[in-house]
Amino acid sequence: MTSLRQILAAHAPLLLVDAASARVQAGWLEAGGSRWAEHTDEAGTAVFRCLEKLGADPGGAGAFVFCEGPGSVLGLRVAAMALRVWNVESVRPVFAYRSLELVARANATSDAGVIADARRDHWHHCTRDGVLRRLPAAGLTGPLLMPEGFRHWTPLPPGVAHVPYDVPGMLLRAGDEDLFRETRDPDAFLHAEPAYAAWTPRIHKAPEAAPSRP
């Protein structure tokens, strides 16, 4: 794990893409400063609208930084796919961070857990220690925070408070936290690889008629 400051020192300029929420955010980060853009269109359009606003050419980046989730699975996979495409002609380092861990570290004065919907009456849950868990709704205890712009299908737990999902502001507050890990295969975060049941193909036939009685 490494910090953003260390990545900047070694690889600037950086192109950062975060599509975890309904508001896609992108930044062009250099040692002397950074500029940011955001867009609320669907991720496949918003990522490139952000690049247009930034006037950024991915080919000029020394490294890529992206959010692997949890969050919008479609948005996260669109961003990861874009990074893989940009890295075809010239391979550059790619660093991933997790949305809920960034929120937890940016709100370090709070003991609250940060949550996001994990479907099927379960929640992603992260605290300041950086441990990301998948818990049933009944297993959530203590004060809870949820980032704005994160969709949910399960009813919110009682007393949950919403906090802004403002990537540049959170990175600034998180300081030199070691939030980033290098990856060769950018993709959306999964707690576990999906398991698939074996299936044997069979030709469907009409049920046999019961023998007639004499």
pLDDT tens by residue, 142-165: 999 999 999 999 999 998 999 999
Q: Give yes or no for residue 211 having a pLDDT over 70.
A: no
- Average confidence score pLDDT of the chain: 91
**Mean local confidence (pLDDT), 158-181:** 94
Q: Give yes or no for residue 9 having a pLDDT over 50.
A: yes
**Can you tell me the distance from the alpha carbon of 95 to that of 67, in angstroms, rounded to the nearest whole number?**
9
Strands (E), 86-205: 94-98, 113-117, 122-126, 132-136, 144-147, 161-163, 181-182
What CATH class does 4-182 carry? alpha beta
